[in-house]
Amino acid sequence: MTVKKQNASKVSFYSKSAFPGVVGCIDGTHVRIISPRKEVHHLYLNRKGYYSLNVITLCDSKMSIRYVDARHASANHDSFVFNVSDLNVHLQNNIKNNTWILGDAGYPLHKFLMTPYRLAKASSL
């Protein structure tokens, strides 16, 4: 994304959620495939019991797909797929301060990738 498109995405996300600095959201999905050859089929059998690829996708505020990585078997965790992706390298080198990608708990926390806080407790105020 150009700086101009990043700024437009930040404004759009902010207008929808009052969450500042967000340029995109990332998530993984399982895309069903036919059974691969027997020697590697265990790598593609996901936790739901069917063969798939673990595909990560990054979308902007308009739900436009900005990045897809469909190279990995479903046995790979979302964090692994992200960590070995070209997107990770690009974001590490190009995302500036106060610019965020939002991901679920399956993704690692980075200076540019915000994930949920796992041990949040309700305040007793």
Dump pLDDT digits (tens) for 21-57.
Answer: 999 999 999 999 998 899 998 999 998 899 999 999 9
Calpha distance 123→26 (Å, rounded) = 29
Q: Find the domain containing 17 and state its range.
A: 3-114
Report residue 68's pLDDT band, with 50, 70 and 90 as the boundaries: very high
Question: Does residue 124 form part of some domain?
Answer: no
**Maximum CA extent, the chain:** 58
Report residue 125's pLDDT band, with 50, 70 and 90 as the boundaries: low
Question: Does residue 107 form part of some domain?
Answer: yes
Question: Does residue 84 form part of some domain?
Answer: yes
Question: Does residue 121 form part of some domain?
Answer: no
Residue 71 has pLDDT above 90, yes or no: yes
Question: Does residue 120 form part of some domain?
Answer: no
Number of domain units in the chain: 1
Question: Does residue 105 form part of some domain?
Answer: yes
Residues shown for the chain: 125
Q: What is the pTM of this model?
A: 0.82
